[in-house]
Each structure stands twice: as C-alpha cells, then as structure tokens.
A and B are shown apart, each in its own frame.
Chain A
Amino acid sequence: MEFKTILFYLFSAITVVAALRVITARNPVHAALFLVLAFFNVAGLWMLLQAEFLALALIMVYVGAVMVLFLFVVMMLDINIERMRQGFWNNLPLGALVGLLMVGEMAVVLSGRYFGLANLPPQNMPANYSNTKELARLLYTDYAYPFEIASVILLVAIIAAVMLTLRGRKDNKAMHSSDQIAVKAKDRMRLVKMSPEVELPAVAAKEGE
C-alpha cells in the first residue's frame, strides 16, 4: 500500500469518528471542538487531492474564523442540553430509517461502478502547477457572474443582520424630534375604565346611627 493511501484512510477514519462525536457529544463545547478536528482532517484529504488552496482556506476560514466564533457563542449562551435532548428517542426510529435509506442509496450510487477511480483517473500535474492560480483564473473569468452573485448574497446577509440586530444604544439620551412629533397620546397615557365609586347608603345609614 502506498503511503498516500494509508494517509487517506487515516484522515478518513478520524473524520468519520470526529463527525459522529459532533452529534453525540453531550457537551456543546466538545462538539464544536470535534467539528474542528473533522475540518482539519478534511483539509488533509483535500491536500491529498492536490487542492492546496482549498485545504488552507478551509483551515483559515472554518477553523480560524467560523469555529472560534461558534465556540464563543456556545460558551456565552447557557444551553440547556437536557431540553435539547427531549424527544430524541421518540424521533429516533423515523430519523434512523430515513438516514439508513440515504446511506443505502448513496452506497449504491457512489460505489465503484459510477464514480470509481477507474472512471476518474487522477491527473498528475507538473511540479510548478499552481492550484491557487488556476482557481483564481477561473473565478475571475468564466465564473465571474456566479462570483458577483455570491458577493451580492454576502451584502444581503450584512444588511439583514444589521436590520435584525441593530437597536441603538440603550443609554443614549439623544432626542429624535421626528419620534417626539409622531408620538400619540395613547403611547404615553393609558385611560382605564372603572366603575364610579358609589357610597353605599346602607353602610352610611349604619354609621349614622
């Protein structure tokens, strides 16, 4: 067996175990860390496929930025694990059935016959071949249009995030004249309907005695 093949199986095995632990770990912080491990191993797999740029981008973007942010959120939020696990056993049979079905279908389709190595022989590139350069060339020429749409999608994400979360400072005492003009009486004062207080004649009469 070639050394690369051994590496491939090693990376794959760790990826699968780590991915399983992501969904089975009780502690969300552990789950996030297992996801980091899975990402590292997938990056190793990409490296074996000679996709250096993608491997490095995966580590830098996912491990470096996304997962660190994720860990922050997980640590700051007080997640009730017991409540999240509610209904796990009730939903398991259906979920497992669908999952097994998907695995079975994928096994049939992805097995050697259609996507095997014989159909897709690895291409050996010269030593000075740059994966990064090739990717960049495609991205800015043939794929310029999807690239632009992707940038608009990021813009939408920014706008939506700002719209949904920006509330202004709570301790800000600045006045907004437009808000003050727009205010209505019912925002400031509430009129409550009450039955008028009536002195009971019987009681009054009693006290008078």
Chain B
Amino acid sequence: MGKPTWGKWGTWEETEAFLGKQVGQNTGADDVEKGSIRRWLEPKEFDCPLHYDEEAAKCAGHEGIVAPSTMVFTYGIPAYWQPGDPHAKPGDPPKGIPIPVIFDVPAPCTLSFASDIEVEFFAPMRINDTITCSSRLTDIKHKTLKVGKGAFMCQEDTYTNQAGETVAVSRLTIFRFVPPDKGDE
C-alpha cells in the first residue's frame, strides 16, 4: 500500500549520519484539557467516564480525569500556526504533520509508506499536563521491495510530561524508497 508522500532528499551516507540521534523535538500546541478530550471522543462516539467524570476517574484509581491513552499523539503535535509565525501566502501547500524521519532526515528516496506502528503507555495524562515528543532514528534496514528500492527506517518517539515522566513511547517504521525506473544507481 505505497503512497507518495514527502521526504527530504540526500545520500545514504547523509541518512546514516542521523542513526541513533535525536531528529526532532516538539511540544504539543495545547495542554491536556477537557474541551480537546471531548472533541476527540466525539467522532469516535466513545463514551468513557474516565475522560469526563471526575468521580468515576477517582473511583477507578486516578487523581482525576485522565485523557485517553492514544490521545498522546495529538497532545504531542505542535501548532500548525502560532503567534510570531509568518502568515500564509496564496498557493502555499498544505502543511504536513511532523514526522522527522521523513521531513528532516535526508535519504535518496522520493516516496514513503508507514509499514507498522506500536506504542507503549506509561504515566497517565492528567488535566493541564504538557506533552513533549522527542524523536530518534533508531534503525535503517536497506531492502528492495516490489514498489522500489529503499530502506525501512524506524522512528522512536518518546512522549514526556512537564515533570519529565515518560507518558508513552511509539515506534513507527517507514519504508522510504524510489520506484524501480528511477532506482538505478
């Protein structure tokens, strides 16, 4: 299921130079709060009192309302625009979400697709928490697939709160490649 996306161009030597290093860090645009939790539950028709009922959350052993665990991705995303940023110009392309292994790590590839993702959860997200996401490039495995020649690259994202506690760690594997006709080196 290949899908053309973005990707910074560069040589494999340049890609390798990023291995094991932090390739991005973002602090979420919004702190954890009831309004954004409600709007996240709404399209999923997800009725769970842990996420809106203080008493129910306490009865279940929490200090108060907690955000859904998988909402950690949302709380790690920076603003698409914030005060101080330049205003958009007519014809500017839409902005993508920050996936540093695609956006900031150069590779001799034009296309990419995400092959798998896993996420582990640790500390809960409480009201007023601020979530920061640090990304590392942890693995590069060269491979030729039907869709083209490239490499499976693993981005490990560690989400922490303002106290420095780890909230979640996710590992996203992305195959970046060039289609066969352009792949002759």
Are A and B part of the same complex? no
A residues apposed to B, CB below 8 Å: none
